[in-house]
Structure 1
Amino acid sequence: MTSFVAELVGTALLIIFGGGVCAGVNLKKSFAQNSGWIVITMGWGLGVAIAAYAVGQFSGAHLNPALTLALAFNGDFPWADVPKYIVAQMLGAMIGAAIVYLHYLPHWKETDDPGVKLGVFATSPAVPSYFANLISEMIGTFVLVLGILAIGANKFADGLNPFIVGFLIVAIGLSLGGTTGYAINPARDLGPRIAHFLLPIPGKGSSNWSYAWVPVVGPILGGSFGGLFYKAIFLGKMTAAFWYVLIAIAAVLAFTFISQGKAPSSYDKPKNAFM
């Protein structure tokens, strides 16, 4: 298996588990309906672990453009391979979302709320505010990348690392996911959002494109800085990129605060759309 196919398959598996648990908990007439936040965070965490077990030996199981960029900034991954990985992750996320749609095919008509349907595919904030939502996504992805690098620096029994990373995802969801649904992965949100836009989902409503940039820009900036922070503080290897990314974060936050401030509230807000 090539690294491109591995990232595509791994990300598709991630979305099948993650989008699948969101669908099961939120769509009407599902046996799992209303089983709640804990179920969703566990579904996403175990989904990450299984996907990592499946393809880790072939590609390193990035499954996330923010992690791929963080590792490239860190010098642990070649920049020449970044576009290939991101394309594979995006395609995999779209395929995974389409499979979730097919799996729950009769449930879309049974569910009236278009926000609930969108929530199976994409994230949205509990309190709409571009500035605050962007900060939440940055922090969540910063913790994700820092946690993954810290886990990798420790010795576990053979094959245990992906399982521990899965619990990191659960921890982020439980502690930080209540604000924006913790996308912490541009492919996880944008790929399924595109699928939602393209698929013939009955009564699906808007794909909420006005918010779509937040779970892309936030994770990229937060994740990249997380990798550079680990390298500078934990390993004592400060680079110019650390300051460049920090300046970029400050500039984006300042621009968002000044020009936007608060996100529009007139959109279909997904419910329980975590990770």
Structure 2
Amino acid sequence: MSIYLGEFLGTLILVLLGDAVVANVVLNKTKGNNGGWIVITTGWALAVAVPVYIFGPVSGAHFNPAVTIANAAIGNFAWANVPGYIIAQMLGGIAGACLVYIHYKPHFDATEDQDTKRGIFCTAPAIRGTLYSFIAEFIGTFLLVFALLGIGNTKMVDGLAPVVVGLVIWVIGLSLGGNTGYAINPARDLGPRIAHAFLPIKDKGHSDWGYAWIPVIAPILGGLCAALLFNGIF
């Protein structure tokens, strides 16, 4: 059970810190209001690196169904553990998002824009369009999984790998995140989206379920393709 608990807690921390940096930047009357995209992408990079440090030795620090499925597809991870990992990741994403709401409750109440409040929990395209949103999430996750597999094959000083993982997340956000918000992780998007749907957020509006399938399916396919290509090359 320790591996599943590690995935649950790791994803919880990832979403708690990642969604919270968005809340700090976009919600009204916060100390970090209008901090900008650099603050958000930096916060998300560190939000991934921190739980990797904590739970890497326990569960392998997937925290992402796309990563779990990709590793299983090339024999790096047991298929028997995939359902448990995904369930733990999804529950962690939901729990982390709930904590963000509790932490910033007064600022949610002070913010009127529904899209702003939903955007703390889950992603949405800057310009609506199914094809290019799908392509963006596919490319971002392809690069993520390909890079993670490469990092795993690279000899490093002990303790450096989580920093490199954080840098990968950072550069994906800086370079590729401007169109969809770079979900690149079904648990990071769908889990908090579910939380948004049931949390008693003041004047929250809809949870944009019509878009929700893209940051689930595109990352899974992107990760699979990256793993198969990496396995074929190396």
> TM-score under structure 2 normalisation?
0.99
Per the alignment, residue 183 of structure 1 pairs with 183
Q: Trace 1:6-85 onto structure 2 (pairs within 5 A).
A: 6-85=6-85
Superposed CA offset, 1:231-252 (max 9, x none): 012x1xxxxxxxxxxxxxxxxx
Distance in 2, matches of 1:101 and 1:162, equals 27
Give ranges in structure 2 of 5+ residues lacking alignment.
Answer: none
Give ranges in structure 1 of 5+ residues lacking alignment.
Answer: 236-275
Larger radius of gyration: 1
Per the alignment, residue 132 of structure 2 pairs with 132
Alpha-carbon distance, 1:125 to partner? 0.4
Whether 1:144 aligns to 2:172 is no
**How many percent identity over aligned positions?**
54
Per the alignment, residue 249 of structure 1 pairs with none
Superposed CA offset, 1:133-185 (max 9, x none): 00110000000000111111111110110111001000000010011000000
> TM-score under structure 1 normalisation?
0.84
Per the alignment, residue 94 of structure 1 pairs with 94
> Which amino acid is the alignment partner of residue 62 of structure 2?
H
Per the alignment, residue 109 of structure 2 pairs with 109
Superposed CA offset, 1:54-102 (max 9, x none): 1111100000000000000111001010000000000000000000000
> Which amino acid is the alignment partner of residue 13 of structure 2?
L
Superposed CA offset, 1:95-128 (max 9, x none): 0000000000101110010000000000000111
Q: Trace 1:112-123 onto structure 2 (pairs within 5 A).
A: 112-123=112-123
Distance in 2, matches of 1:54 and 1:195, equals 25
Distance in 2, matches of 1:138 and 1:115, equals 24
- Please list every run of at least 4 consecutive aligned residues from structure 1 whose deviation after the TM superposition is greater than 2 angstroms: none
Over the aligned positions, Cα root-mean-square deviation in angstroms equals 0.7
> Which amino acid is the alignment partner of residue 90 of structure 1?
M
Aligned length: 234
